């Protein structure tokens, strides 16, 4: 019983990490190879979709959406940010800082 609970925990933990990492890397690749720079509103919309997608994907298969978002955020801050246009980078940075302020969370964004 305890062993099966531990295996379920490990499967949920590593499955959530895998889902979040895969979606974050997909966002980095898509923003790198598809030039949204001429359409900043569309680029920002894609960023928002990729920010929410790990939660939806993980929860839909019975994993932890919070863990998926955590790891997706870490991966996106390392890879996706460098593939965004400067304008969208500033807009998304200010948007997520405002949301974190409203939620009462202190966030540092590069």
Of 107, 23, 11, 5, the closest CA to residue 68 belongs to 23
pTM of this structure: 0.85
Query: What are the Cα distances from residue 44, in Å, to 31, 38, 68?
Result: 11, 12, 20
Phi/psi class of residue 13: alpha, beta or left (left: φ > 0; alpha: ψ in -120 to 50)? alpha
Contact 23, 70 (CB under 8 A): no
52-109: pLDDT as tens digits = 999 999 999 999 999 999 999 999 989 988 889 899 989 998 998 888 888 876 666 6
18-56: pLDDT as tens digits = 999 999 999 999 999 988 888 999 999 999 999 999 999
How many other CB atoms sit within 10 Å of the CB of residue 95? Answer: 15
Residue 63 CA to its chain's centroid (Å): 15
Confidence (pLDDT) at 110:
58
Domain boundaries, the chain: 2-103
Of the pLDDT bands very low, low, confident and very high (cuts 50, 70, 90), residue 14 is: very high
């Amino acid at each position: 019983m305890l062993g099966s609970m531990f295996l379920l925990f490990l499967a949920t933990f590593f499955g959530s990490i895998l889902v979040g990492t895969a979606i974050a890397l997909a966002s980095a690749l898509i923003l790198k190879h598809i030039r949204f720079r001429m359409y900043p509103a569309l680029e920002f919309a894609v960023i928002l979709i990729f920010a929410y997608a790990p939660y939806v994907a993980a929860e839909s298969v019975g994993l932890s959406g919070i863990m998926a978002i955590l790891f997706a955020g870490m991966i996106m801050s390392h890879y996706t940010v460098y593939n965004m246009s400067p304008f969208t980078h500033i807009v998304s940075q200010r948007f997520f800082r405002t949301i974190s302020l409203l939620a009462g969370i202190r966030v540092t964004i590069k």
